[in-house]
């Protein structure tokens, strides 16, 4: 009887109880993608509202950036934990709870009376977002058990989710000009409600036999990821010599080292060795980190540079970034099909190579007003890096990770993505010169190409 129960749990965890109808499947997919769109929207929508926040709340110069960055730090720090909890408690339960919390916290942020309350609200929003992302991908994996359809679905999920990142600067600029920074938060509750309505009948994958909860590993990994992201963000604000940057980064490195030692002695480590032992999983994590470093770091650098060089308003600066951000809404649909047809390896390598090409283009931007065509070409190649590598890495993780580690794997992948994004902003954002950023992108891109090629060669994909 014990063996029969174990076999039954395994079967239920790896396949849906009943295949949903096509219409129901599309509505459920829309609900899952809309929730993740909301998370990515909040990573960029507040950036253009910073001047209005400054005028309205009068925060100190050191406090103001954290109205934006508190979200990123907590989000990155808790992503791995969010994946572990989704695998343990059920992706459906975690997703629904996190989505409801996101709506309520957004309304509270809009009502914040001062900068301190807003920073706390943004940090709590980051915690809700960390529950949404890995749970949404775990639900998507369960919705599409066939690997080829799953890969295409991940591409569509990434494209629809990327709409949030692309629309953020433009929508944020329009809302600020329409009624102030509060509207940036009040747009979230209706989107969250729509996601809940669309996903009323979310799939309910049964968890496998519950493994022991590695509380020490969770605490240490959360502290390490949070401290690393905090230090990198602070380096982008105050420079690499700031003790508020060096201290947390050093602490994060020590925490990661201690975590490696501690995890060897526990029965059920927070990041299972069986997951990291897979070459395709390692390739996905390298590609995700480097592509986010290039894409988000380059987007931040070019956004600031365009405003300073051409004296653009927030709304016009958002429009000027469309060659970089708009492909994020379209290309991942095709990326999923490419990965399903040819495998992840050529798509990942093409995306990594695109970051090298963008770096080469930026090295020629040495004049004060370089040709606009050169900037647009650099934006397009950076967009290719993001739209080829990021969805390919998510699809590769979705196909390669064992079902019992679906949310944990996606949490780890998104955690390293956020660390890569913060590092890109901290490094490229502090360089100032486009040509210097180009040299960094060339070096990082070439290393990534070699690492991804080596890892994927072992699996033939």
- Give per-residue pLDDT as tens, 413-426: 888 888 888 788 77
Per-residue model confidence (pLDDT) at position 313:
67
SS (H, E, C) 300-350: HHHHHHHHHHHCCCHHHHHHHCHHHHCHHHHHHHHHHHHHHHHCHHHHHHH
Based on the fold, state whether residues 58 and 178 are members of the same structural domain.
yes
Q: Report the alpha-carbon distance of residue 216 to residue 299 in Å, rounded.
A: 36
- Give the H or E element holding residue 102: helix 91-110
Based on the fold, state whether residues 333 and 375 are members of the same structural domain.
yes
- How far, CA to CA in Å, does 216 sit from each of 219, 253, 258? 5, 17, 11
pLDDT band at 245 (very low <50, low <70, confident <90, very high): confident
Question: Per residue in 365-411, pLDDT tens?
Answer: 877 778 878 888 999 999 999 889 888 888 888 888 887 788 888 88
Helices vs strands, H then E, count in the chain: 20, 0
Structural domain contains residue 3: no
Based on the fold, state whether residues 73 and 151 are members of the same structural domain.
yes
Question: Per residue in 117-160, pLDDT tens?
Answer: 999 999 999 999 999 988 888 888 888 888 778 888 887 887 77
Based on the fold, state whether residues 35 and 65 are members of the same structural domain.
yes
Structural domains counted in the chain: 3
For range 453-457, the mean pLDDT: 80
- How far, CA to CA in Å, does 311 sit from each of 296, 315, 404? 22, 12, 51
Structural domain contains residue 10: no
Contact between 376 and 432 under an 8 Å Cβ cutoff? The reply is no
Structural domain contains residue 389: yes
Q: Report the alpha-carbon distance of residue 147 to residue 345 in Å, rounded.
A: 16
For range 226-249, the mean pLDDT: 85
Q: Choose one of 157, 175, 202: the last residue of a domain.
A: 202
Q: Is residue 7 over pLDDT 60? A: no
Based on the fold, state whether residues 379 and 431 are members of the same structural domain.
yes
Q: Is residue 8 over pLDDT 70? A: no
Structural domain contains residue 15: no
Q: Is residue 66 over pLDDT 70? A: yes
Q: Report the alpha-carbon distance of residue 19 to residue 237 in Å, rounded.
A: 50
Task: Say which CATH number the domain at 396 has.
Answer: 1.20.1250.20
Q: Report the alpha-carbon distance of residue 51 to residue 61 in Å, rounded.
A: 11
CA 449 to chain centre: 21
Residues 6+ apart with CB under 8 A from 459: 278, 279, 280
Structural domain contains residue 13: no
Structural domain contains residue 8: no
Averaged pLDDT score across all residues of the chain: 81
Based on the fold, state whether residues 276 and 264 are members of the same structural domain.
no
- How far, CA to CA in Å, does 231 sit from each of 120, 236, 247, 252, 271? 18, 9, 7, 9, 23
Based on the fold, state whether residues 389 and 361 are members of the same structural domain.
yes
Based on the fold, state whether residues 304 and 227 are members of the same structural domain.
no
The reply to whether the predicted model has a pTM over 0.85 is: no
Based on the fold, state whether residues 188 and 224 are members of the same structural domain.
no
Contact between 408 and 83 under an 8 Å Cβ cutoff? The reply is yes
Q: Choose one of 148, 175, 202: the last residue of a domain.
A: 202
Per-residue model confidence (pLDDT) at position 449:
92
Q: Is residue 430 over pLDDT 50? A: yes
Structural domain contains residue 1: no
Q: Is residue 239 over pLDDT 60? A: yes
pLDDT band at 428 (very low <50, low <70, confident <90, very high): confident
Based on the fold, state whether residues 115 and 240 are members of the same structural domain.
no
Given CA atoms 214, 219, 223, 229 in this order, what sign does their dihedral have?
positive
Based on the fold, state whether residues 227 and 277 are members of the same structural domain.
no
* Domain that residue 360 falls in: 272-460
Q: Cβ atoms within 10 A of the Cβ of 364, count?
A: 15
pLDDT band at 209 (very low <50, low <70, confident <90, very high): very low
Could you please report the per-residue DSSP string of 120-166?
Answer: HHHHHHHHHHHHHHHHHHHHHHHH--SHHHHHHHHHHHHHHHHHHHH
Percent of the chain whose pLDDT exceeds 70: 89
pLDDT band at 212 (very low <50, low <70, confident <90, very high): low
Q: Report the alpha-carbon distance of residue 389 to residue 242 in Å, rounded.
A: 33
Per-residue model confidence (pLDDT) at position 128:
94
pLDDT band at 14 (very low <50, low <70, confident <90, very high): very low
Q: Report the alpha-carbon distance of residue 17 to residue 450 in Å, rounded.
A: 42
pLDDT band at 203 (very low <50, low <70, confident <90, very high): low
Q: Cβ atoms within 10 A of the Cβ of 8, count?
A: 11
For range 451-455, the mean pLDDT: 86
Structural domain contains residue 40: yes
Q: Report the alpha-carbon distance of residue 330 to residue 274 in Å, rounded.
A: 34
For range 292-316, the mean pLDDT: 78
Based on the fold, state whether residues 280 and 316 are members of the same structural domain.
yes
Q: Is residue 15 over pLDDT 70? A: no
């Amino acid at each position: 009887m014990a063996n029969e129960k174990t076999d039954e749990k395994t079967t239920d965890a790896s396949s849906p109880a009943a295949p949903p109808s096509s219409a129901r499947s599309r509505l459920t997919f829309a609900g899952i993608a809309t929730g993740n769109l909301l998370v990515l929207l909040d990573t960029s929508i507040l950036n253009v509202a910073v001047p209005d926040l400054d005028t309205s709340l009068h925060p100190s110069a050191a406090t103001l950036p954290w109205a934006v960055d508190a979200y990123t730090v907590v989000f990155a720090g808790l992503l791995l934990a969010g994946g572990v909890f989704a695998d343990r408690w059920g992706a459906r339960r975690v997703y629904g709870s996190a989505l409801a919390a996101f709506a309520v916290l957004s309304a509270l942020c809009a009502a914040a009376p001062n900068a301190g309350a807003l920073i706390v609200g943004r940090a709590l929003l980051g915690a809700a977002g960390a529950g949404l992302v890995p749970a949404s991908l775990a639900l998507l994996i369960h919705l599409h058990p066939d690997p080829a359809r799953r890969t295409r679905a991940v591409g569509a999920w990434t494209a629809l989710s990327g709409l949030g990142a692309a629309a953020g600067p433009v929508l944020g600029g329009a809302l600020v000009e329409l009624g102030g920074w509060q509207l940036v938060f009040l747009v979230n509750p209706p989107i969250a409600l729509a996601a809940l309505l669309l996903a009323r009948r979310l799939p309910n994958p049964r968890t496998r036999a519950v493994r022991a909860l590695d509380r020490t590993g969770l605490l240490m990994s959360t502290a390490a990821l949070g401290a690393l992201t905090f230090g990198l963000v602070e380096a982008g604000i105050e420079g690499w010599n700031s003790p508020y940057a060096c201290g947390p980064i050093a602490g994060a490195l020590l925490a990661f080292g201690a975590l490696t030692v501690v995890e060897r002695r526990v029965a059920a480590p927070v990041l299972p060795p069986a997951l990291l032992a897979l070459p395709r999983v390692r390739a996905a994590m390298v590609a995700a980190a480097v592509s986010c470093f290039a894409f988000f770091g380059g987007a931040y650098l070019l956004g600031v540079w365009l405003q300073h060089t051409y004296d653009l308003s927030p709304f016009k600066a958002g429009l000027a970034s469309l060659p970089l951000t708009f492909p994020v809404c379209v290309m991942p649909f095709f990326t999923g099909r490419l990965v399903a047809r040819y495998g992840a390896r050529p798509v990942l390598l093409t995306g990594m190579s695109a970051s090298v090409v963008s770096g080469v283009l930026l090295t020629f931007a040495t004049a004060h007003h370089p040709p606009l065509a050169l900037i647009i070409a650099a934006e397009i190649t950076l967009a290719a890096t993001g739209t080829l590598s990021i969805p390919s890495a998510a699809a590769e993780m979705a196909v390669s990770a064992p079902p019992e580690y679906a949310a944990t794997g996606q949490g780890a992948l998104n955690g390293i993505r956020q660390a890569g994004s913060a590092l890109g902003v901290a490094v490229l954002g502090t360089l100032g010169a486009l040509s210097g950023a180009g040299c960094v992108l060339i070096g990082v891109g070439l290393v990534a190409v070699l690492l991804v090629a080596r890892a994927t060669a072992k699996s033939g994909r």
